[in-house]
Chains A and B, each alone.
Chain A
Amino acid sequence: MWYPTWALRRPDVSPDAPHQAVDDSNTVVALNPLAHDAGVRVGMGRRAAEALCPTVVTIERDQSADMARFEPVVERIESIVPRVEIADPGRAFIPIRGAVTYYGGEQALIERINKELDTFGGDYRLGLAAGPFAAWQAVQQTSRDSRVFVVTDDDAFLSQLDVSAIGSEELAATFRWLGITTLGALGELPYDAVISRFGRQGMDAHRIARGMGRSPSPRDIPPDPGVESSFDPPIQDFEQASFIARNLAQRLISGLAPHGMAPHRVVVSVVAADGTERVRSWRSADPFDDHTLTDRVRWQLRAWIEGVSAGIRGGISFLRLEPDDLSGSGRQLSLAEDAKETMEMQRVLMEVQAIAGPDSVLVASPQGGRDPAQQVLWSRWGDDPVSHARDTDAPWPGRIPSPAPALVPPNPVPFVVSWADGSPEQVRLASRWVPVLSWAGPWRSVGRWWDGEGMADRYQIVTSAGAYLCEVKDGKTYLLGVYD
């Protein structure tokens, strides 16, 4: 089941104007018919789309909010067919093997699903096939006029698909250059030859082309790979829930990593304070990692907590993540990585975050800058690495030479220094004046003069109590660091 324009199903989107939704990389992921008629296509860059259709209204995709709106649709489908697996907000896999028998055939089931989905309106599509990969390919063959595509023979259907269906444009281009344009042609190539030439990537592509799905589950599966946590008092706040979601997702993925595997399907189950139990499955073509899984769990929890279905009454008292459909495509451990130690470290830091708050656990990375505070880029532990670090190899004129002060205030603090003829004579430490033994500087920092930032002179001042890095700016002295 697929809603191609789900990201545009928002109250602020008007059907009378061209609209497009873009993701974090400013790539178009959904568009309405007016934008489509103007030449905009999914996968275009935002600028290119706006050049084609200057009147297009661009909205940024919010998958968390999208999921909150998608939850009632999933609930409605689950009232007909249990164990629906969500892939993204707007896309779900419905296991229909048992339901087809129950409702008396595929056509009857499709009519029943159509009836339920029609109550929500919108442009929805259905693709029926024996496996998830073929079903996803089938639903992409649909159009606004023909919303259902049924595959009767998966092998025959897949064999005529373009080779780009393997998911890697680069590899598909290589196959095309070799004269292999369809999945059928790729599947007919000798298996050993494809592995020998294209390695793991080629092996996966060949398996897809032959309709074989993923590699089988690894041999050594731990008895209970699920993770769970109970909460007393129950969690009612979404921010708190997302923090817990991240902790559990990281625990789950890192628990499976030593076994060299990762899940393609994860069952999220919660128990509300009033005893209500909610369960939802999430599926991914690629194995989940901690970031993708965290996102899914957060979206699901938000849908339950803030969604219109109000499925969690009194807050969450229990949360469990259970992996399923495990494959050996999990993360590869590096030679030096001690998986057990890493797991223990992660568990401990999550616990510290739970005690002291998620913003209290920090990691830092080097970046360029003139002052010690500028040379450190802080980020919250567990978050994605910050990508906008300043260049450490740039010259940074006026940079304070090493050694660096061990204590650096988050913001410069006023520092009382008595000056005589431009030289520091005494500094005030607590309630007493301490004579300056020696000093060095100034290192002049010009700053962003185009932004109105003034010049500043930095000095290293040595006293019998220690050495200090200070800055004189606009006639006032500030402490930048203590050489502790």
Chain B
Amino acid sequence: MVADIEPIAPVTPVDARDRGREEIFSLSPGQIAGLTGIPGSGLTRVGLSLIAPYAAQGHLAYLDVRGWASPLTAWELGIDPERFIVVRTDDIVTWGRVVGTLLDGMRGVYAEIPHGVKDSALRTLAARARTRRTPLVFRSLAGKLPQGVVHLHLKAREVAWEGTGQGHGALIRRRTLLDASGKATRGMERTIEIEDDGTNHMRVVPNLGTQTSRRFA
């Protein structure tokens, strides 16, 4: 049951030697992550897991442009229902003001970016997040983000599920291949594989290269 979820245990590397990936896959206060990829690629869970550790200190906000956000995922990640606020608005005119206001009082913000938001608005909001030291996750619905805005850019490449067969079983575990870039990767593009079994543990799987994606194709 959702209510029985254990206390939060965010993204955890299975191999302590793989420090590089652990550092990449975390957000410090004031850092911004950007997510691009089609719905179904697992980016909502990835984005929420980046800010989930901050739920222990205060409230998190999810700016839901599509109106489809489900808090079940946040609860599965260990976020207290009382500390998870969903703001539903698809008004592009007020979108920037809403995000800017949320950055002033929330411990973490996950914001979907509607089509048509100007790059300059994103840069302004990113600067505000850095000033307020609020971790911010941008999820672009248009599939692109301007250069230099985010500290960590995660682009979904592939997703593979385990547990289902031809009419039997159930979804158990997902492995998502992400292309990571930005300052967090020191300018180099790296590939990260996330393993997610639906509980509050998401793991960065080590020792995988780009070619491993073929296993799931």
Residue positions of A touching B, CB distance < 8 A: 338, 341, 344-349, 351-352, 355-357, 360-366, 372-373, 375-376, 381, 392-393, 401-410, 423, 437-441, 460, 462-468, 481-484
A384 to chain B, nearest CB (A): 14
The 6 closest A-B pairs by CB, nearest first: A466-B40, A403-B198, A348-B105, A404-B72, A406-B44, A408-B70
- Contacting A348 at CB < 8 Å: which of B39, B72, B102, B163? B102
Residues of B within 8 A of A463 (CB): 40
Q: Are A352 and B87 in contact (CB under 8 A)?
A: yes
Measured CB to CB, the nearest residue on chain B to A354 is B101
Q: Which of A346, A351, A355, A381 lies at the interface centre, i.e. has the most chain B CB atoms within 10 A of its CB?
A: A355
Interface residue total, chain B, C-beta cutoff 8 A: 59
Q: Are B67 and A375 in contact (CB under 8 A)?
A: no
| Contact A407 to B86, CB < 8 A, known contacts A440-B163, A462-B161 | no
Residues of A within 8 A of B39 (CB): 407, 466, 482, 484
Residues of A within 8 A of B161 (CB): 437-438, 462, 467, 483
**0/1 string, B160-176, CB within 8 A of A gives 1:** 01011111111100100
The residues in B between 129 and 169 inclusive whose CB is less than 8 angstroms from any CB of A are 158-159, 161, 163-169
- B104 interface residue (CB < 8 Å to A): yes
- B43 interface residue (CB < 8 Å to A): yes
- Contacting B89 at CB < 8 Å: which of A356, A364, A365, A403? A356
B20 to chain A, nearest CB (A): 26
Q: Are A360 and B84 in contact (CB under 8 A)?
A: no
- Contacting A439 at CB < 8 Å: which of B43, B66, B164? B164
Q: Which of A393, A460, A462, A463 lies at the interface centre, i.e. has the most chain B CB atoms within 10 A of its CB?
A: A462
Measured CB to CB, the nearest residue on chain A to B158 is A464
Measured CB to CB, the nearest residue on chain A to B45 is A406
Interface of A: prevailing SS:
mixed
Residues of B within 8 A of A346 (CB): 105
- Contacting A481 at CB < 8 Å: which of B70, B97, B98, B168? B70
B16 to chain A, nearest CB (A): 26
Residues of A within 8 A of B102 (CB): 348, 352
A374 to chain B, nearest CB (A): 11
Q: Are B104 and A348 in contact (CB under 8 A)?
A: yes
- B76 interface residue (CB < 8 Å to A): yes
- Contacting B171 at CB < 8 Å: which of A345, A360, A361, A460? A460
Q: Are A392 and B58 in contact (CB under 8 A)?
A: no
Q: Are B68 and A407 in contact (CB under 8 A)?
A: yes
Residues of A within 8 A of B98 (CB): 352, 355-356
Q: Are A360 and B101 in contact (CB under 8 A)?
A: no
Measured CB to CB, the nearest residue on chain B to A466 is B40
Q: Are A402 and B164 in contact (CB under 8 A)?
A: no
Measured CB to CB, the nearest residue on chain A to B94 is A355
Known: A362-B85, A468-B40, A483-B161. 4 other contacts (CB 8 A): A341-B58, A362-B88, A392-B1, A484-B44
- B41 interface residue (CB < 8 Å to A): yes
Interchain Cβ contacts under 8 Å between A and B, 16 examples: A356-B87, A356-B88, A360-B88, A362-B85, A363-B84, A364-B86, A366-B1, A372-B70, A392-B3, A404-B70, A407-B44, A438-B165, A439-B164, A462-B161, A464-B159, A484-B43
A to B contact number (C-beta, < 8 Å): 178
The residues in B between 72 and 103 inclusive whose CB is less than 8 angstroms from any CB of A are 72-73, 75-76, 81-82, 84-89, 91, 94, 97-98, 101-102
B55 to chain A, nearest CB (A): 12
- Contacting A356 at CB < 8 Å: which of B41, B94, B167? B94
Interface of B: prevailing SS:
mixed
User: In the complex, what distance in Å separates the CA atom of A126 from the CA atom of B169?
Assistant: 75
User: In the complex, what distance in Å separates the CA atom of A408 from the CA atom of B88?
Assistant: 13
B37 to chain A, nearest CB (A): 9
The residues in B between 85 and 129 inclusive whose CB is less than 8 angstroms from any CB of A are 85-89, 91, 94, 97-98, 101-102, 104-106
- Contacting A393 at CB < 8 Å: which of B1, B68, B167? B1
Q: Are A345 and B105 in contact (CB under 8 A)?
A: yes
Q: Are B167 and A440 in contact (CB under 8 A)?
A: yes
Residues of A within 8 A of B44 (CB): 406-407, 484
**0/1 string, B170-198, CB within 8 A of A gives 1:** 11001000000000000000000000111
- B24 interface residue (CB < 8 Å to A): no
Q: Are B81 and A366 in contact (CB under 8 A)?
A: yes
Residues of A within 8 A of B41 (CB): 465-466, 484
- B14 interface residue (CB < 8 Å to A): no
- B209 interface residue (CB < 8 Å to A): no
Q: Are A407 and B69 in contact (CB under 8 A)?
A: yes
Q: Are B106 and A439 in contact (CB under 8 A)?
A: no
- B7 interface residue (CB < 8 Å to A): no
| Contact A366 to B198, CB < 8 A, known contacts A401-B170, A438-B161, A441-B167 | no
Residues of A within 8 A of B94 (CB): 355-356
| Contact A439 to B166, CB < 8 A, known contacts A362-B87, A375-B2, A466-B39 | yes
B12 to chain A, nearest CB (A): 17
Q: Are A351 and B40 in contact (CB under 8 A)?
A: no
Q: Are A406 and B70 in contact (CB under 8 A)?
A: yes
- Contacting B38 at CB < 8 Å: which of A372, A381, A423, A465? A465
A187 to chain B, nearest CB (A): 43
User: In the complex, what distance in Å separates the CA atom of A73 from the CA atom of B20?
Assistant: 74
B201 to chain A, nearest CB (A): 11
Q: Are B167 and A402 in contact (CB under 8 A)?
A: no
B165 to chain A, nearest CB (A): 6
Measured CB to CB, the nearest residue on chain B to A376 is B71
Measured CB to CB, the nearest residue on chain B to A468 is B40
Q: Are A376 and B72 in contact (CB under 8 A)?
A: yes
User: In the complex, what distance in Å separates the CA atom of A441 from the CA atom of B199?
Assistant: 21
| Contact A407 to B171, CB < 8 A, known contacts A356-B94, A483-B42 | no
Q: Are B198 and A364 in contact (CB under 8 A)?
A: no
